[in-house]
Amino acid sequence: MIAAPDLLNALKHRTDTGGGDLLAFSDTDALRALEVIIERRPDVVALERLFAATPRGAALIKRIKADPSLSESEIRVVSHDADARMSPRLPSHGGGTTTVAAPVQTDEAPLDQSGTRRSPRHKVDVEVLVDANLASVVDLSTDGAQVVTAIVLKPNQRVRVTLSDDQCVLRLNSSVAWASFEIPPNGDPRYRAGLQFHDANSAAVDAYALRHRAP
């Protein structure tokens, strides 16, 4: 079970484990929880609904669903203040079981933010600085960029982006248009974000993008 620390006790008292082990993790310790889930392959992984609705919770659910070794682990979204306890397993048409859980609203944006940029995007292979921290650029346009980085990025956050090579150094005032938290199967946790440039020199950014276009 994964939930905010102040909700764990209430959830543990409300949850009937049927005599099995119940391991509880704080929502700030989701990576440790994932390690235990992968190691022990539990029958049920329960996420408190407020945590499940965050980018970190959504990324954890996605990571579990993507792991074939966890195909038998049932994901349930639970609430500390709801009358119902954990979502029941229901028979599936194939004779197995399936889970009905409450719908989860997340802040995770689709990777392709189609229609949100007014200028063409270039697939590039380059690293830039976002608030002096390295970030890999997925695509770049004169209006903004999609980046992947280890630092925390949140929607509406103001950031300073630096594009540099042997021909130029561009420092751009930017803001985070959208952001999502990811836990890759074989990599470190990261944030993927769409950045909007506010004062970019369009010609300079376009030339930079063309110099670093991905093969």
Residue 54: predicted pLDDT: 85
The whole-angstrom distance between residue 168's C-alpha and the CA centroid of its chain comes to: 33
Q: Is CATH 3.40.640.10 correct for 122-211?
A: no
Both tokens of 3, joined, read 């939930």
User: What pLDDT digit, counting tens, does each position of 135-192 carry?
Assistant: 999 999 999 999 999 999 988 999 999 999 999 999 999 999 988 888 888 788 899 9
Residue 94: predicted pLDDT: 39
- The reported pTM is 0.55
Q: How many CA atoms lie within 13 A of 107 on its CB side?
A: 21
Considering the chain, what is the average pLDDT of its residues?
80
Q: What is the pLDDT averaged over residues 84-100?
A: 37
Residue 83 clears pLDDT 60, i.e. is over it:
no
List the domain boundaries for the chain. 2-99, 122-211
User: What pLDDT digit, counting tens, does each position of 38-67 carry?
Assistant: 888 999 999 988 888 888 888 889 889 888
Higher-scoring residue by pLDDT: 106, 135 = 135
Residue 31: predicted pLDDT: 85
Residue 118: predicted pLDDT: 53
Higher-scoring residue by pLDDT: 59, 87 = 59
**Dist. CA 195–CA 200, nearest whole Å:** 12
Higher-scoring residue by pLDDT: 87, 119 = 119
DSSP characters for the chain?
-EE-HHHHHHHHHH---TTS----EEGGGHHHHHHHHHHH--SEEEEEHHHHTSHHHHHHHHHHHH-GGGTTPEEEEE-TT-SS-SPPEEE-TTSSEEE--------PPPS--TTS-SS--EEEEEEEEETTEEEEEEEE-SSEEEEEESS---TT-EEEEEEE-SS-EEEEEEEEEEEEEE--TTS--EEEEEEEESS--HHHHHHHHHHTB--
**Dist. CA 17–CA 76, nearest whole Å:** 13
Residues near 203 by beta carbon (within 8 Å), at least 6 away in sequence: none
